[in-house]
Amino acid sequence: ASADIGVYGLGVMGANLARNLARNGYRVAVTNRSAARTEKLVAAHGDGSEGVFVPAADIDRFVASLERPRVAIIMVLAGAATDEVMEQLAARMEPGDIIVDCGNSLFTDTIRREAWARARGLHFVGAGVSGGEEGALWGPSIMPGGTPESYDRLGPMFEKISAHYQGQPCCAHIGADGAGHFVKMVHNGIEYADMQVIAEAYDLLRHGLDAAPATLADVFASWNEGELDSYLIEITAEVLRQVDAPTGTPLVDLIVDRASQKGTGKWTVQTALDLAVPVTGIGEATFARGASSGVRQREAARALDGHAGGFGIDSSDPGARDAFIEDVRQALYASKIVAYSQGFDMIAEGAAAHGWDIDKGGLASIWRAGCIIRAAFLDDITRAYAARPDLPLLLAAEPFATRIQQAVPSLRRVVALAAVAGVPVPVFASSLSYFDTIRSPRLPAALIQGQRDFFGSHTYHRIDRPGTFHTLWAQEGRPEEQWG
């Protein structure tokens, strides 16, 4: 035995995670289903300058090279491949050893795998890893689930290789079994919403001001100096500034306007439906990607007249122009608060449903560096939960309560303008509706309960009396019946 930790699966993420571990002083056993990737990694980085790799030609030698208690990371295509590799590793491991799945696995698979491994005396840790290939190499945000004992062994290594924010590691034990993959899934869902609100802001500015992408790159770059300071705003400015050299055209105008997805947004929405948590920002963002890719439907609808009006902004008037840009910035910020508030609601509900004790402020703090949604904003979330760990609603807590109330007039103007101008703003519009829904003292849900009782005897509660009621609707004059 000569390795502190092993990485099985040397694709883009696995190879970079292995190099990160080696650079940080750990002896890393490496192997891959097809030997070529192992050989490639060792040929490119195995000269000792990046630390110590212990290449293994097969899984027997891989497991044999790990010091006890063994720690083996799986970094393969999520799904059946993870099960296959886990079973092969488990067959060669001993009680107390730790198998870590750093892939993007569905948290319910992780719950199942953890129970399977536990029955064999093994620890199984599902760890969410965010930050893409650069993050894996230089410091990702890491969200491990599993037992506290497994974290005692893993934590020091993961905290060392993770990103750091003002000296603090962006890694913390999230909770038992699938908790790490659950929060990573919601993180990705929030990422979908964050990207969509930025895209909606861009689209409005582009049409409303008739502005070139390079001009808007400057707008986003300036936003990145303030409260919207984040990785996604930063890269938006870079994407908008990019010019296709051969044609001299802004690259964004040459990219096909169909957004792809790998499925974590979909998982978030499916899970949110199971938990009955409205994540409208994430939902609309996921559906917007689907709508953009609906080639047949878009083709069929292309000729329809939307009777859209103009924006009515005199873009030659600097005052009007700046006021519109500021309205859009505020609308973006308000929608972002809604999306994060909903995401953290989902984490609270998921934790309650699965018995995880998730420190939400701590979670926000490990998203402050390394991951795709890293943003100044997360500092405020950390502080809000530090002040009150059982916050019922993030957007109603300071500083968000003050900020969303300041921003909402802009959000209303922007959504109204977008509606008149015929520019789709699914997340802006749904965020405003959500805000108006939850702050409303009385909702038309009362009517829905009446309808349900009418056609299905589903009963209702009254505001003036306790009990469960059913009305004999069709028979006028009959006294209501009380049930229960």
The answer to the question of residue 9 lying near ligand NDP (CB under 6 A) is yes
Rounded CA-CA distance 369/139 in Å is 9
**Structure-block tokens of residue 81:** 């491949």
Task: Say how far residue 42 (Cα) sits from the centre of its chain.
Answer: 33
By beta-carbon distance, which residue lies closest to ligand NDP?
Answer: 11
Give the per-residue contact string, 100-139, with ligand NDP (x = CB under 6 A; - = no): ---xx------------------------x--xx------
Q: What are phi and psi of 58, to 5 degrees?
A: -150, 175
Give the per-residue contact string, 33-72, with ligand NDP (x = CB under 6 A; - = no): xx--x-----------------------------------
The answer to the question of residue 76 lying near ligand NDP (CB under 6 A) is yes
Distances (CA, A) of 394 to 141, 285, 389: 22, 20, 10
Q: State the minimum distance, in angstroms, from the CB of residue 226 to ligand NDP.
A: 28
Q: State the minimum distance, in angstroms, from the CB of residue 36 to ligand NDP.
A: 7
Q: Which of 3, 54, 63, 75 binds ligand NDP (CB under 6 A)?
A: 75
Q: Are 189 and 342 in contact (CB under 8 A)?
A: no
Give the per-residue contact string, 352-381, with ligand NDP (x = CB under 6 A; - = no): ------------------------------
Identify whether 184 is a catalytic site residue.
yes
The answer to the question of residue 78 lying near ligand NDP (CB under 6 A) is yes
Distances (CA, A) of 442 to 44, 279, 314: 65, 21, 40
Establish how many alpha carbons lie within 13 A of residue 113's alpha carbon, considering only the half-sphere containing its beta carbon.
33
Q: 414 CB contacts (<8 Å, ≥6 apart)?
A: 204, 327, 328, 330, 331, 425, 428
Q: Is 275 exposed, middle or buried (0-12, 13-18, 19+ CB in 10 A)?
A: middle
Three-state secondary-structure class, residue 55: strand
Give whichever of 87 and 317 is closer to ligand NDP, judged by the CB atom. Answer: 87
Neighbours of 133 (CB within 10 A): 14
Give whichever of 76 and 313 is closer to ligand NDP, judged by the CB atom. Answer: 76
Q: State the minimum distance, in angstroms, from the CB of residue 310 to ligand NDP.
A: 41
Q: Which of 191, 200, 266, 336 is catalytic?
A: 191
Give whichever of 8 and 324 is closer to ligand NDP, judged by the CB atom. Answer: 8
Identify whether 160 is a catalytic site residue.
no
Q: Which of 175, 201, 162, 191 is nearest to 425 (CA)?
A: 201
Q: Are 33 and 39 in contact (CB under 8 A)?
A: no
Give whichever of 73 and 205 is closer to ligand NDP, judged by the CB atom. Answer: 73
User: Which positions are catalytic?
Assistant: 184, 191
Residues that bind ligand NDP (CB under 6 A): 9-14, 32-34, 37, 75-78, 81, 84-85, 103-104, 129, 132-133
